[in-house]
């Protein structure tokens, strides 16, 4: 189909589609003469992915380009897939984790920081919290890790083993982008539920007597 139809199907304007083409977020269509090109289902799917990453994931254009580049050349090993997914999703930059932090996480039984983007991300998030004066106890971290294993149990599904690498990588990236906000919202709902239990007007009344 022509670019105007790609715009109709995806709901993304022609200028924006041309921008995605220039920025390398969308692969070129098949040339049909000097001024037109044909687009197919792979373009529709890619445009939807780019919108999801930008609108829901709030990824920058550069990060989206990293994602699509990774999708076009996924690692062969299942084991490396998640590392690649986590690498493109995490905030770029930041200083490498300190030895103290690495040792602390290892002592808690968390995987070490050398090869894993997730462990690096964790060490950086913890360091940022501590620098801002927010200390998390080992007991809290251990309990939270157990909780997040329960969450991850629904993420790392056996079906991943049967998918082609590119599909498995897209599944991991899109799954995290779309459901991180769900997990965070559930945390807020859980906080409100516990707050209602612990600080409801009735218990406040009792406390003030």
Size of the site for its own copies (CB under 8 A): 78
> Using CB under 8 A, which of 33, 134, 164, 205 touches its own copies?
134
> Residue written as tokens 């103290």?
100
Q: Which is nearer to its own copies, 37 or 54 (CB)?
A: 54
**Could you say whether residue 48 binds its own copies (CB under 8 A)?**
yes
Total residues found in the chain within this entry: 209
Segment 94 to 123, residues that bind its own copies, using CB under 8 A: 110-111, 116-119, 121-122
From the list 160, 165, 170, 173, which residue makes contact with its own copies (rule: CB under 8 A)? 160
Which of 92, 103, 106, 190 binds its own copies (CB under 8 A)? It is: 190
Taking the complex as a whole, the smallest distance from the CB of residue 51 to its own copies amounts, in Å, to 8
* Nearest residue to 89 (alpha-carbon basis) of 69, 59, 45, 113: 59
Gap between the Cα atoms of 95 and 37, Å rounded: 45
Return the SS3 of 36.
Answer: strand
**Whose CA is closest to 102, among 127, 83, 135, 136?**
127
């Amino acid at each position: 189909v022509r670019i105007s139809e790609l715009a109709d199907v995806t709901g993304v304007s022609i200028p924006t589609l041309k921008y995605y083409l220039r920025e390398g977020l969308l692969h070129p269509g098949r040339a049909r003469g000097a001024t037109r090109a044909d687009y197919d289902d792979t373009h529709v799917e890619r445009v939807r992915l780019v919108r999801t990453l930008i609108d829901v994931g709030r990824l920058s254009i550069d990060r989206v380009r990293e994602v699509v580049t990774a999708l076009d050349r996924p690692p062969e090993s299942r084991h490396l897939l998640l590392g690649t997914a986590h690498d493109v999703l995490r905030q770029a930059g930041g200083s490498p984790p300190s030895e103290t932090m690495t040792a602390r996480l290892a002592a808690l039984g968390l995987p070490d920081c050398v090869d894993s983007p997730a462990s690096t991300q964790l060490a950086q998030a913890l360091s940022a919290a501590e620098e801002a004066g927010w200390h998390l106890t080992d007991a809290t971290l251990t309990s939270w890790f157990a909780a997040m294993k329960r969450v991850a149990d629904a993420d790392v599904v056996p079906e991943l083993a049967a998918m082609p690498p590119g599909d498995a990588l897209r599944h991991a990236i899109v799954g995290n982008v779309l459901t991180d906000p769900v997990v965070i919202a559930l945390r807020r709902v859980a906080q409100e539920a516990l707050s209602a239990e612990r600080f409801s007007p009735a218990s406040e009344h009792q406390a003030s007597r």
